[in-house]
Amino acid sequence: MIEHFEGKTAVLTGAGSGFGLECARIAARRGMRLVLVDVQQDALDKAVAELEPRGVELLARRVDVSDADQMQALADAVQQRFGAPHFVFNNAGVGSAGLIWENTLADWQWVLGVNLWGVIHGVRLFTPMMLAAARSDANWRGQIVNTASMAGLVTMPNMGVYNVSKHAVVALTETLYQDLRLVTDQIGASVLCPYFVATGIAHSERNRPVAMRGAPITASQRIGQAMMDKAVASGKVSAADVAARIFEAAAQDHFYIYSHPKALQSVAQRMQAIVGGENPPDPFAERPAVGEQLRSALRA
C-alpha cells in the first residue's frame, strides 16, 4: 500500500505505450520520480520528451526485460540514482496467437521471455531492495504490480502461448503476495488482468527479435491476429482508465485489478468446472457466433 505518492520512485516497464505510459503520466502528475523502461527506443524517447518538461526527475533506459543482464544493470542504476523504488510496475508484454502446436520454439521463447521472465526479473531484483528499505524505515511503503491478463484466468483457444505466459504471471503474483505477507506488512502486491484494451500489444510484431522478423506465419496465427485486432478496436475501456485503477489498487492494497469485471463470468464458469471435475466449458457460450466463426475459419 502506498498512501502518498509524491517524492516516491516508480519503475515502469513497457513505459513507451499503453498501460505503462498512462501510469507514467499519472505518476508524473502525482510528483513521483520516474524510471521509464522500454525496448522500443523511439517510443521511449517520445515518452521522455513528453514527461521531462514537466520537471519530473527521470531515468530512462532501453531494456529487453527478458535479458537478465540488462535487468540487473537497470536495477543497479535505479539503486544508485534513487535507492529502492516504491512502486514497481512489471508491465512489458507481447501478444501471440495461433494453435498451440503451431507455435515455433522461437515463438515460445520470445513470448515467455518478455511476458513471464520480464516479471520474474523485476520481482527477483526489486523486491529485495524494497524489503531492505522497509526494514530500515518503519514508515516506508511499497507496491509491486505485475501485468497478467484475463487470459491468465481463462483459457481462450488459439492463444496458447500467451495464455501460458499470463497464467504463470497470475500464479507468480499470488505467491508473491502470500510470501510478502509472511515477512512484512509494508509492501503489497497486485496483479493486473485486463481484457481487450487498446495498448499496442495487438501489434507486438514491431518488437519481435530481428531473427524472427519475416518468418512465415500459419493460418491460425493470421486468424487469431485478425480477431484480436477486431476485439481491441471495439473496446470501450481505455488504457488511461485502467491506469487509474492501478493507482487506486496501489493506494488501497487491492490485489486483483480488472478492466472488464463482467468478463469474470467466464472465470467463474472455469472455476466451477475445475471444482466439479468437469470438462473445460465452452469459452464461446456467451458469444456462439464468434466461436463458430473461428471454427469455420480454422477448418476451411
Whose grid coordinates read 498512462?
A: 22
Give catalytic status of residue 177 as yes or no. Answer: no
Neighbours of 221 (CB within 10 A): 18
Neighbours of 213 (CB within 10 A): 10
CB 130 within 8 A of CB 88: yes
Grid cell at residue 107:
515463438
111-124 b/e with 16+ CB inside 10 Å = b? bbbbbbbbbbbbbe
DSSP string, 39-63: S-HHHHHHHHHHHGGGT--EEEEE-
Which distant-in-sequence residues (6+ apart) come within 8 Å of 71 by Cβ?
A: 63, 65, 118, 121, 122, 125
Dist. CA 284–CA 300, nearest whole Å: 19
Whose grid coordinates read 502518498?
A: 4
Dist. CA 258–CA 140, nearest whole Å: 27
Q: Which DSSP letter does residue 9 get?
A: E
Neighbours of 204 (CB within 10 A): 19
DSSP string, 148-190: --GGGTS--TTBHHHHHHHHHHHHHHHHHHHHHHHH-SSEEEE
Active-site annotation, residues: 162
